[in-house]
């Protein structure tokens, strides 16, 4: 199982967010858990985090929005699973820049 240190080594995006203090402790733990889970599941099927359904976003510019949280998880996942990235996933990540 991955440790938090290993997650930070594998994901420069996550390490950068942590270094800048842009994540609450609970959000950081959620991202660590998502990466650890995806690493365990990689042997079965390396799939990116599920995109939120359209109705998951309330449209009131919440900070952070569920879509922003998903893009963070997606970037971290992509860095930890470079061989599992599909072209459309890369397009979704690039659209966030």
Helices (H), the chain: 4-10, 12-19, 25-41, 66-80, 87-94
Higher pLDDT, 88 or 73: 73
Confidence category of residue 80, pLDDT binned at 50, 70, 90: confident
For position 47, what pLDDT does the model report? 76
Three-state DSSP class for 57?
coil
Position 88 pLDDT exceeds 60 = no
17-51 exposure pattern, b = at least 16 Cβ within 10 A, e = fewer: bbeeeebeeeebeebbebbbebbeeeeeeeebbee
Position 60 pLDDT exceeds 80 = yes
- Can you give the pTM of this predicted structure? 0.65
Predicted confidence (pLDDT) per residue in 7-59, tens digit: 788 888 888 888 888 778 888 888 888 877 777 766 555 678 889 999 898 88
- What does the domain layout of the chain look like in residue ranges? 4-94
Burial class (CB in 10 A: 0-12, 13-18, 19+), 77: buried
């Amino acid at each position: 199982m991955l440790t938090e240190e290993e997650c930070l080594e594998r994901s420069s995006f996550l390490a950068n967010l942590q270094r800048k203090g842009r994540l609450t402790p609970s959000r950081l733990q959620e991202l660590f858990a998502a990466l650890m889970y995806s690493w365990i599941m990689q042997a079965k099927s390396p799939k990116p985090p599920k995109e939120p359904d359209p109705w998951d976003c309330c449209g009131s510019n919440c900070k952070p929005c569920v879509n922003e949280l998903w893009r963070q998880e997606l970037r971290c996942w992509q860095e930890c699973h470079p061989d599992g990235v599909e072209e459309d996933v890369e397009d979704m990540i690039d659209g966030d820049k």
